[in-house]
Structures are given as C-alpha cells and as structure tokens.
C-alpha cells in the first residue's frame, strides 16, 4: 500500500464510530459467514445469550457495521482458489457472499495486509471487536529427506496453480512423467488426482486457468497413486468425491480386494457415511478385480488407485541427484480402531517409482502480527472457545453500566456512614458490571 494511502487508512481508523463496528480479517468462507452471522444477529442486540459475553452489544445495533479486510485485491478465499474448477456448484455460495458485501452495513477492503499495512493493535483501537479468519496460508511439511527435490510439490501450491492463486502462478510443475504419487487420502488429494486424469474437454468448460490447461494438455501422467498411513476405514475423503473418481471417463480404478478383507463386518455398526463409503470401495475393488480377470488388462489409457498403510520415509533422487525418481515407504500396522487408530511402522519397506510427488497432508496457519500470540508447535492462535488468549478484548463501559458502579459505591458508603465508598480497583469495577 502506498504511503499516502496508508496514512489515510490510519487516520480513518483513529476515530471510533459510536455504533458497534466489527472488523473481520480475511474474506474467505469463514470471514463471510462470520459477517453474515453478525449482521443477522446484531438486530437482536446481542450475539451471545448473556450480557457478560464479550460479544454482547446492547446499543446502536441497527447501525452496526462489519468491515472485511483481505490482503488480495479479490475476495472469497478458498471458494475462489481452493474449490476444484470442475465443482462449480460449490462456488454458488459466492452469490450469498456478494449479497452480504453489498449490504449498507458491510464494507470490503481488498489489497490491505493486516500486520503490514495496518496493525492488529490499530484495529483493536478502531473496532469494538476484531475477528481473525485469515485461514491457513502455508502447508505442512513431510519432514523427510528429499522433499525439496524437483518434482515434489505441496498440494496447496498445486491447487493454487490450477486455480489461479497469484502466489502460485509461476509454479510450472513438471508433468513429463507417467506416474504421480499423492500423499494423503483427503478430498484435496482426490481433487488433484481428478484434475491430472480428467479429459481436457471436461476441463475446458471450467474456470481452470489457461496456463494450467495448456500444461495439462502436454502432460504424460497416466497413472496416479494415492497413499496414506492408515487403512480404508480412516480415509478422509467423502463418497461424492470417490464416486467422481470411479466414474471418471477414460480411467480405471485399481483397488486391491485384499485391502478390504473383513471390512464388511467391521462397518456394520459404523455411522452411515463411513459405512456407505467403505461399501463403495469394497464394491469397486471386487468389480474391477473380476473385470480384470475376465478381460485381462483392459486397454484403458489412465489408471488411479489407493495404497493403504504406507508412510513416506524418503524421497528418492535420480542418478544426478536433481529430481525425484520414487519414494521409500514404510509399511505400517494399525493400533486401535476407527478414527483414533494409529499407524505404527512394521519395519518393512518398499519403494514406489514415480516422477511426480504431491504432498496433501494438510495446511497450517502462520503468525499474523507480533501483537497476536501464536503457538508455533501447533500452528494456531491460542484461544478459549474462539476468544484469543493473552490479548485483552476492548469492551467499552456504557453510562448505564457506570450507574451500576455508582450505585454500588453509594451502597457501600451508606453502610459506613459516608456519601459513598469509592471503588479504586478497575478490575473490581469491571467485575461488578459483568465484564
């Protein structure tokens, strides 16, 4: 932000409006849903059920204002940059967000980086409440040798590349290999596999970027493996995304029936979504196994498959030490059951050849501002039910609340035969009025 503009922003922030003003940092789904909720419920005068709640706003609620700050010039966060281009129905929520942004009581300020252009401290002085919903801007690392080799990418960067996230526009992934390995069993992993294997005619009808489409048109990838540390009962993707992969034209699922032995009984009492998902994997594994036995190796141009109970230990380099040629995987066994099952190495290893590795093991947040505490070990802002810990919340005292303090002082004075007994501890004053 240019210096004059920054000065203007600071001058505007320096004068606190009489009506409640709430600042939302981040214009992704969380930010817009927060703004919608605030604007809807401020009409009742409160966001929580008790006056002691820091979000209790007893006055001026009809004039309340929500301002949304975004570091990029464009809004909508993961709806724009995270949702797969062939899932346009998921992006329809943008219509609702647009309606919110056009409200007279909501303002959007793009191209403003909180922590650089304006500090959190300044926002605290200018607003009655500051909501941090800036998301997870970094990826979790594998922490294994070789993950910095050419041909190894984070899912976040790859998704940002084909979705047009400015910071990833120059990624230029090398798609000259035949086999890709995706580490992770979530919906993002399936999204990436589907984009890599989708017919170009499908992708041309989406909002995928031109440069990504051109790169995919030249791609040599025809086989995609998705590997996870745990088993079929612990996969994180949902049945909709799995069904899309199974029905993807020109591709063949490769699922080993042995991976699903005994699971029919194991999921009988499981929650319905988990049961249906597992049954679909079992059905697909058995059907494709029978087809292969009858038809030998079908002439399907592209394949994808799930590999279970494998944990990456090392990304293996080519002879020149420059590029990835495979991944050494530790075979695991499961201790426990269900979602709480843990993968424990068995001591056995295997090597999986591939020329492209995509790590889809989750995102992580980064610190926003020195004034905001940050847990670097867990990559989160320490909080109690969403309230940031270690940072005072600025809650003004209204005149009617002062009158409660006044009444308490007069009552104490009367008991001592005095006009009043002044309360000298600010914390005691605040406690009296439920702060």
Burial of 68 (0-12, 13-18, 19+ CB in 10 A): buried
Indicate if the alpha-carbon torsion angle 289, 291, 295, 299 is positive or negative.
negative
pLDDT for the residue numbered 61: 57
User: What does the pLDDT look like over 63-76, one tens digit per residue?
Assistant: 789 999 999 999 99
Of all helices (H) and strands (E), which one includes residue 329? strand 324-335
- % of residues, the chain, pLDDT over 70: 87
Do the Cβ atoms of 245 and 253 come closer than 8 Å? Answer: yes
How far is the first Cα of the chain from the last one, in angstroms, to the nearest whole number? 37
Residue count of the chain, please give it: 435
Of all helices (H) and strands (E), which one includes residue 253? strand 251-254
User: What does the pLDDT look like over 92-107, one tens digit per residue?
Assistant: 999 999 999 999 999 9
Place of tokens 């993968």: 343
Which of 140, 139, 239 is closest to 187 using CA atoms? 239
d(CA 306, CA 227): 6
pLDDT for the residue numbered 128: 87
Q: What architecture does CATH give domain 138-363?
A: 3-Layer(bba) Sandwich (3.50)
d(CA 306, CA 254): 7
Buried b (16+ CB within 10 A) or exposed e, 12-25: ebeeeeebbbbbbb
Q: Which residues pair with 81 in a beta bridge?
A: none
d(CA 175, CA 358): 12
- % of residues, the chain, pLDDT over 90: 66
Residue 405: pLDDT band with limits 50, 70, 90: very high
Is pLDDT above 70 for 377? yes
Say which residue, 124 or 329, is predicted with more confidence. Answer: 329
The 10 Å Cβ neighbour count of residue 262 is 6
Instruction: Indicate the average pLDDT of the chain.
Output: 88
pLDDT for the residue numbered 4: 40
User: What does the pLDDT look like over 186-232, one tens digit per residue?
Assistant: 999 999 999 999 999 999 999 999 999 999 999 999 999 999 999 99
CA distances from 274 to 233, 277, 301, 310 (A): 7, 5, 31, 21
The 10 Å Cβ neighbour count of residue 249 is 10
d(CA 347, CA 331): 7
Tokens of 213: 């489409």
Tell me the CB-side half-sphere exposure of residue 282, using CA atoms within 13 A.
15
Which of 108, 124, 94, 10 is closest to 372 using CA atoms? 124
**Of 111-120, 249-258, 311-320, 426-435, which gets the smallest average pLDDT?**
426-435
In angstroms and rounded to an integer, the radius of gyration of the C-alpha atoms of the chain is: 27
Q: Is the pTM higher than 0.75? A: yes
Which of 63, 69, 84, 65 is closest to 31 using CA atoms? 69
Residue 1: pLDDT band with limits 50, 70, 90: very low
Do the Cβ atoms of 21 and 67 come closer than 8 Å? Answer: yes
Does 3-136+365-388 carry CATH code 3.40.50.720? yes
User: What does the pLDDT look like over 137-175, one tens digit per residue?
Assistant: 888 999 999 999 999 999 999 999 999 999 999 999 999
Q: What share of the chain is helix, strand, coil (3-state, %, to 5)?
A: 35, 20, 40
pLDDT for the residue numbered 297: 52
Number of H helices and E strands in the chain, helices first, is 14, 17
Q: Where are the domains of the chain?
A: 3-136+365-388, 138-363, 399-432
pLDDT for the residue numbered 51: 45
| Cα angle 34, 36, 38; round to 5 | 70
Residue 386: pLDDT band with limits 50, 70, 90: confident
Average pLDDT of the residues in 36-42: 83
């Amino acid at each position: 932000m240019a210096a004059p503009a920054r000065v203007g922003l600071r001058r505007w922030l320096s004068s606190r409006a009489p009506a409640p003003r709430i600042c939302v940092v981040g214009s992704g789904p969380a930010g817009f849903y927060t703004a919608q909720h605030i604007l809807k419920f401020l009409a009742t005068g409160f966001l929580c059920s008790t006056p002691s709640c820091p979000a209790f706003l007893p006055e001026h609620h009809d004039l309340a204002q929500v301002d949304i700050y975004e570091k990029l010039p464009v809004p909508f966060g993961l709806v724009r940059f995270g949702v797969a281009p062939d899932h346009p129905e998921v992006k329809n929520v943008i219509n609702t967000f647009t309606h919110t942004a056009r409200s007279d009581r909501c303002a959007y300020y793009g191209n403003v980086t909180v922590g650089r252009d304006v500090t959190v401290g300044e926002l605290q002085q200018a607003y009655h409440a500051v909501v941090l919903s800036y998301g997870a801007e970094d990826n979790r690392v594998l922490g294994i040798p070789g993950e910095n080799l050419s041909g190894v990418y984070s899912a976040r960067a790859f998704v940002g590349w084909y979705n047009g996230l400015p910071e990833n526009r120059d990624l230029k992934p090398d798609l000259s290999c035949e086999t890709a390995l995706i580490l992770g069993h979530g919906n993002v992993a399936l999204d990436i596999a589907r984009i890599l294997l989708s017919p170009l005619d499908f992708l041309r009808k989406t909002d995928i970027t031109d440069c990504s489409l051109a790169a995919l048109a030249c791609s040599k990838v025809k086989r995609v493996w998705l590997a996870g540390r745990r088993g079929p009962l612990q996969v994180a993707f949902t049945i909709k995304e799995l069904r899309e992969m199974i029905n993807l034209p020109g591709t063949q699922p490769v699922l080993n029936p042995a991976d699903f032995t005994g699971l029919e009984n194991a999921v009988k009492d499981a929650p319905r979504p988990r049961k249906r998902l597992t049954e679909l994997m079992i059905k697909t594994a058995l059907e494709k196994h029978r087809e292969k036995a009858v038809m030998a190796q079908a002439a399907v141009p592209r394949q994808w498959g799930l590999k279970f109970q494998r944990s990456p230990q090392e990304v293996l380099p080519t002879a020149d030490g420059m590029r990835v040629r495979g991944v050494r995987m530790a075979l695991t066994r499961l201790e426990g059951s269900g979602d709480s099952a843990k993968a424990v190495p068995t001591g056995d290893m295997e090597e999986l050849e591939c020329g492209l590795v995509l790590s889809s093991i989750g995102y992580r947040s980064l610190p926003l501002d020195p004034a905001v505490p940050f847990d670097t070990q867990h990559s989160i802002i320490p909080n109690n039910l969403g309230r940031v810990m270690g940072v005072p919340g600025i809650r003004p005292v209204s005149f009617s609340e002062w009158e409660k303090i006044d009444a308490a002082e007069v009552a104490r004075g009367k008991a001592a035969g005095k006009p009043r007994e002044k309360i000298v501890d600010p914390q005691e004053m605040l406690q009296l009025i439920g702060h």
